[in-house]
Amino acid sequence: MAVSVAPVPDRAVFWFGCNLVRHGEVIRSTARLLEAVGVEAETAGGPSHCCGATQEASARITEGMGRRTVESFNQTGAPQVITWCPSCHMNMQDVMAPVTPANFETQHVTQVLHARRDRLRALLVRPVQARVLLHRHLGFQPRVPVNDLVADLLALIPGLELVDHPLAVPGHMCSSLGGVPGALKAAQQATLDAMQATGADTLATIFHSCHRESVTLERGRPWLRVANWIHLLAESAGWEAEDGYKALRNAEDPRTALGEAGLAAAGETVFERLMEPELRKAPPL
């Protein structure tokens, strides 16, 4: 696929948003991939680098968060900010940078890795035997062609076979379906139907929200694996990238599965308020 993107500088900020608690292994593997393809990327995320999406009900708070984040990125002197979360990417381009002048360009991580895929190819030496259905969405694709970019990158993995199916789910992430009664359940059923029709045994998610909603599809389906696209690249590179979130979400008791040491590391208050309700909620299917 030919994709026109700005040149990728050797120095950048990797902005991973607010999802480190849930998806630390994906973020660390992504940072490692960027380093491996020659991008010296300073990581930034969490409450101190928020896009404001969590506070969109308050224009004042959202503007303040966005302004502080842009100013912080300006101070690094990095010519590019590499985004991971589609909400962060859209908010930076639509809300944050237009209000607070940005001294940097913004590209999504899929664009950066795709632009340096020749270097990435050299890392992917371990075969991953899987028939993979890519979990595609319609909403973000017109802005960044992530469905095509990720498909190209997964095609670099030896042994991996991408199946062909027209399914693409509405919205930019599965979280956008949550407010529509029955929408997420219908999307997941359509995904299962597509996997069975194509003989796929692996569902590759692109975005973190989709991954969180999809991992429960493994319950009672021993033939099915859910993996983020970064997990698959890391596996082919021979790197450890255990899916801690999936293990907790599918555990009979997530608190017991986390263990005392894990609970202490996460912080009991953080776990109780931010993670445990999500981990214990009933899956759509």
pLDDT higher than 70, residue 6: no
pLDDT higher than 80, residue 56: no
Compute the average pLDDT of residues 39-59.
79
Amino acid 4: pLDDT: 47
Buried b (16+ CB within 10 A) or exposed e, 243-266: bbbbebbbeeebbeebeeeebeee
Amino acid 178: pLDDT: 86
Q: Are 73 and 11 in contact (CB under 8 A)?
A: no
Q: What confidence tens digit (pLDDT) does each residue in 198-238 have?
A: 999 999 999 999 999 999 999 999 999 999 999 999 999 99
Phi, psi dihedral angles at 134 (to 5 degrees): -85, 130
Q: Which CATH architecture has domain 124-244?
A: 3-Layer(aba) Sandwich (3.40)
Amino acid 190: pLDDT: 98
pLDDT higher than 90, residue 129: yes
Instruction: Give ∠ CA 125-130-134 in degrees, rounded to 5.
Output: 105
Amino acid 3: pLDDT: 53
Q: Which residues contact 92 (CB under 8 A, 6 or more apart)?
A: 51, 70, 81, 83, 102, 106
> Which segments of the chain belong to CATH 3.40.50?
11-114, 124-244
pLDDT tier at 153, thresholds 50, 70, 90: very high
Question: 11-114 in CATH: which number?
Answer: 3.40.50
Amino acid 18: pLDDT: 82
Q: What confidence tens digit (pLDDT) does each residue in 61-96 have?
A: 778 888 999 999 999 999 999 999 999 999 999 989
Q: How far, in Å, CA of 229 to CA of 250, rounded?
A: 19
Q: What pTM did the predictor assign?
A: 0.94
Mean pLDDT (the chain) is 93
